[in-house]
């Protein structure tokens, strides 16, 4: 097992080096303004950090992401549990959810600007929508897919509806709910950058667009690298939290990944 993991890591680093070599080779056919080399982009990072041109935008983006994603989880999970557990709630709200869900969060941007004005709120609203629907839909599905036999056994032993919900439904639905939260992290982070590109005056998305105005493609790619790196870190943190929560619930995380 250790040898397999080491080989997988070496393969990953080898692929990364090949991409860098390919990028360097292709960049030789273009001017730095069109496509900077990896070395040019690497040199841009100290410049950006010293001028505090990147760090402040990262903090703003993280604040928006955490606010919007937190709201989506706080609202989406209880709503999804309610819809999954109460048939009448699902029958009433599911058509609305299914109608709104396919609409891209970006399509809401003109209305968001009219409702909230230019600034932070429209971007937060778009990120919220991007995370909210995966959380709700996955939670509803998780509750509905709980094995009816589990419920029957619990009721046969005299458990009430509240105890069945807390002791049977939640643990059984939890793995799929976590998958929904994981998916929502990715969709929220992607739409964060898109939302900031459209109308925000700060954040990583805004920084990338603003760098284009100065013809600094090295800054653009540096911003893109930060978007990817932070997204990777968030994904790893989510997996770590997922494993910890599984242990608290007495479940095996590896069987659900």
pTM greater than 0.85 (yes/no): no
Residue-wise pLDDT tens digits, 163-197: 888 878 888 888 888 888 989 999 999 899 888 88
Q: What angle do CA 70, 74, 80 make, to 5 degrees?
A: 130
- Cα distances from 158 to residues 143, 154, 163, in angstroms, run 21, 7, 10
Rounded CA separation 149/152 (Å): 5
pLDDT for res 99: 96
Q: Are residues 21 and 144 in the same domain?
A: no
Domain identity same for 190 and 212: yes
Task: Please check whether residues 208 and 101 belong to one and the same domain.
Answer: yes
For helices 170-199 and 204-213, the axis angle rounded to 10 degrees is: 20
Same domain (yes/no): 81, 60: yes
Q: Please give the pLDDT value at position 97.
A: 95
Instruction: For residue range 52-108, list pLDDT tens digits in order.
Output: 788 889 999 999 999 999 999 999 999 999 999 899 999 999 999 999 999 999 999
Q: How confident is the model at residue 254, as a pLDDT?
A: 47
Q: 195, 123 in Cβ contact below 8 A?
A: yes
Q: Which comes out higher in pLDDT, residue 96 or 254?
A: 96
| Sequence-ordered alpha helix ranges (H) in 35-119 | 38-50, 55-85, 87-100, 109-116
**Residues 105-147 pLDDT 10s:** 999 989 998 898 887 888 999 999 999 999 999 999 999 988 8
Is the same domain home to 10 and 103?
A: no
| pLDDT tens track for 17-67 | 898 899 889 888 888 888 898 888 898 888 888 877 888 899 999 999 999
Q: Same domain, yes or no, for 88 and 12?
A: no
Residues 199-217 pLDDT 10s: 778 889 999 998 888 888 9
Q: How confident is the model at residue 257 (pLDDT cuts 50, 70, 90)?
A: very low
Which structural domain range is residue 159 located in? 38-256
Residues with Cβ within 8 Å of residue 206, at least 6 apart in sequence: 57, 196, 197, 200
CATH of the domain at 236: 1.10.3720.10
Angle at CA of residue 130, ends 127 and 92, nearest 5°: 125
Instruction: Report yes or no: 130 and 190 within 8 Å, Cβ to Cβ.
Output: yes
pLDDT for 74 equals 96
Three-class SS of residue 33?
coil
Are residue 15 and residue 66 in the same domain, yes or no? Answer: no
Phi, psi angles (nearest 5°) of residue 53 = -90, -15
Q: Are residues 89 and 211 in the same domain?
A: yes
The structural domain count of the chain equals: 2
CA angle 138, 140, 146 (to 5 degrees): 100
| 114 and 14 share one domain | no
Whether 185 and 166 share a structural domain: yes
Same domain for 231 and 210? yes
Residues 17 and 138 in one domain: no
């Amino acid at each position: 097992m250790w040898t397999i993991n080491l080989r997988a890591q070496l393969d990953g680093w080898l692929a990364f080096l090949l991409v860098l070599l390919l990028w360097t080779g292709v960049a030789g056919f273009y001017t730095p303004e069109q496509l900077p080399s990896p070395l040019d982009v690497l040199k841009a990072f100290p410049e950006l950090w010293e001028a505090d041109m990147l760090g402040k935008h990262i903090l703003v983006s993280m604040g928006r992401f955490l606010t919007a994603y937190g709201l989506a989880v706080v609202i989406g999970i209880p709503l999804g549990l309610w819809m999954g557990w109460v048939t009448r709630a699902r029958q009433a709200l599911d058509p609305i959810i299914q109608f709104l869900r396919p609409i891209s969060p970006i399509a809401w941007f003109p209305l968001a600007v009219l409702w909230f004005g230019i600034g932070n709120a429209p971007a937060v609203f778009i990120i919220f929508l991007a995370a909210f629907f995966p959380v709700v839909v996955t939670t509803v599905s998780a509750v509905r897919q709980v094995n009816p036999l589990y419920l029957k056994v619990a009721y046969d032993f005299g458990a009430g509806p509240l105890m069945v919900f807390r002791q049977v439904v939640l643990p059984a639905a939890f793995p799929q709910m976590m998958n929904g939260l994981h998916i929502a992290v990715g969709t929220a982070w992607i739409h964060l950058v898109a939302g900031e590109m459209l109308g925000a005056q700060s954040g990583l998305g805004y920084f990338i667009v603003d760098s284009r105005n100065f013809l600094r493609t090295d800054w653009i790619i540096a911003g893109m690298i930060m978007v990817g790196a932070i997204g990777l870190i968030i994904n790893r943190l989510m997996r770590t939290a997922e494993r910890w929560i599984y242990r608290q619930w007495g479940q095996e995380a590896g069987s659900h990944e």
